[in-house]
Amino acid sequence: MSPVLASELSEKSVMSTDGQHVGELHTLTLDPATGELETLVVNTEQSAIFGIDQREDGRIHLPASVLESVSEQLIISPRLWANRRRRAAAPVDVTPEKRRGRDLNP
């Protein structure tokens, strides 16, 4: 994705990859240490997006990993969110044998 000025994103429409209008971008958050995009804060009438519930302020805070592209709208993908959740839930084997490259239970 090519660089985009944050000021150009204000109040852009947020659409899902299946063509549904999700809402309008309220703001976004960045990691102050790295400058990486962390969260898209979306004004929406929906109570949840991709299983993420609306907060008390009436907005949904989506992880930046759902962002697929930026053009006239922000395009978000449930596939990207599902992949991220799957990776986060996958067990990681960090036994000493695994770290040395020897799996004792082939």
**Which CATH number is 40's domain given?**
2.30.30.240
Q: What is the pLDDT of residue 18?
A: 87
pTM above 0.75, yes or no: no
Q: Is the pLDDT of residue 87 over 60?
A: no
pLDDT tens for 1-55 read: 567 777 777 789 999 988 889 999 999 999 999 988 899 999 999 888 888 899 9
Q: Is residue 95 part of a domain?
A: no
Q: 3-state DSSP call for residue 65?
A: helix
Stronger pLDDT, 82 or 58, i.e. the higher one: 58
Stronger pLDDT, 41 or 86, i.e. the higher one: 41
Residue numbers of the domain that contains 24? 9-90
